[in-house]
Amino acid sequence: MAAIELRGLTKRYEDGTGIDSLTFSVQEGEVFGLIGPRRSGKTTTIRTVLGIQSPTAGQATVLGFDPHNDLRRHKADIGYLPASPRFDESATGAEILDSRGQIKGDDRREELVARFDPPVDRRVRNSSPDELRRLALVGAFMHDPALVIMDEPMVGRGVGGPSFDRHRFTRFIHEERRRGVTVFLASRAVDEVWRLCDRVAVLRDGRLLGTEPVESLRHRCGKVVHLRIATAVTASSFEFDGVHDLDVQTVSFAADSRAGCREPEEKTTSRSSVVTDVSFTFTGDINTLMETLSSYPLLQFDLDEMPLETVFRRLSDATAE
């Protein structure tokens, strides 16, 4: 059974469309990412799927029930981490968890408080946004739900900070997946989605561009490679499988110039009076790339994730073709 199923889910606001005819499903046990640029409809999807707002058309089912009518009865099966958690300012963290526990249960409270270190003894008004997100995270998982829905879980520094960094968060989500928990999360952070998700749905302007396993999407998007080579190199040297958007610039320096040099001592040799800056997007086999590069005198080698906007542009272009 699908954990979440959207069939033509549409939400229009008075002054525009939030989401338009979304149809896709999230399978039980997967970590599924909803990605898209700003105002693409991620939060609208989550709030409509949760029954916080009603759809204009279409339908969502969550763990087999209609969230708009039956959410109350199924609250204990779902955890929710909103993008900006709001709590009673005068309550302590412990009081917040007490009242949630009474509604949904709190079997895992002790374990998660030890792990996330939320501000249990302090009042909400005296706690930082990061601390409150950790409190919300405990609240989302402590009743051991079958499905957890998270909106931008790592926004800003998110649950980061000295006591709970993002690698520990990633490890936690991987552990939850191994326990069989289904996770549906919205994010604009590509590296977060790459680390956490099995599959993604990509939104743009409230419409679904497609759903895809993260591995194949990641492969299609590739990495951005920047090289500085201490010799003249022609573009044809880099015209091999998996190289796209190649840019090659060879620059000559006076023999004693150190301009733009990372390793100044290397620049004083006659060989390094010419450098070539090479950049490209790479979707091929990284071992082949490393083997090719080993034959060049590299001054600099950077391998970065594709910038988010480029990912979305590529996906939009691919969908339009």
Ligand X SMILES: Nc1ncnc2c1ncn2[C@@H]1O[C@H](COP(=O)(O)OP(=O)(O)OP(=O)(O)O)[C@@H](O)[C@H]1O
Which residues of the shown chain bind ligand X in the complex (CB under 6 A)? Answer: 13, 15-16, 18, 36, 38-44, 188
Closer CB to ligand X, 22 or 214, in the complex: 22
Closer CB to ligand X, 209 or 289, in the complex: 209
Q: Helix, strand, coil % (nearest 5) of the chain?
A: 35, 30, 35
Q: How many CB atoms lie within 10 A of CB 244?
A: 11
Closer CB to ligand X, 17 or 170, in the complex: 17
Closer CB to ligand X, 39 or 177, in the complex: 39
- CA gap 246, 271 in Å, rounded: 24
- CA gap 291, 282 in Å, rounded: 14
Q: If we measure between CA atoms, which residue out of 156, 148, 143, 68 comes closest to residue 111?
A: 143
Least distance CB 34 / ligand X (angstroms): 8
Closer CB to ligand X, 82 or 139, in the complex: 82
Least distance CB 288 / ligand X (angstroms): 36
Least distance CB 295 / ligand X (angstroms): 44
- Answer whether 50's CB lies under 8 Å from 38's CB: no
Least distance CB 319 / ligand X (angstroms): 17
- Answer whether 135's CB lies under 8 Å from 121's CB: no
Per-position b or e across 134-144, b if 16+ CB within 10 A of its CB: bbbbbbbbbbb
To 10 degrees, the CA torsion angle through 267, 271, 275, 281?
A: -110
- Please, what sign has the CA dihedral across residues 107, 76, 51, 308? positive
Least distance CB 12 / ligand X (angstroms): 9
Least distance CB 40 / ligand X (angstroms): 4
Closer CB to ligand X, 54 or 249, in the complex: 54
Least distance CB 45 / ligand X (angstroms): 7
- State the alpha helices, DSSP H only, in 117-157: 129-141
Closer CB to ligand X, 40 or 92, in the complex: 40
Least distance CB 209 / ligand X (angstroms): 13
Q: If we measure between CA atoms, which residue out of 87, 82, 164, 153 comes closest to residue 126?
A: 87
Residues comprising the chain, all counted: 321
Least distance CB 49 / ligand X (angstroms): 12
Closer CB to ligand X, 60 or 261, in the complex: 60
Determine which helix (DSSP H) or strand (DSSP E) holds 5, and give its type and residue range: strand 2-13
Closer CB to ligand X, 15 or 265, in the complex: 15
Determine which helix (DSSP H) or strand (DSSP E) holds 116, and give its type and residue range: helix 109-116
The DSSP result for 162-201, as a single string, is TTS-HHHHHHHHHHHHHTT-EEEEEES-HHHHHHH-SEEE
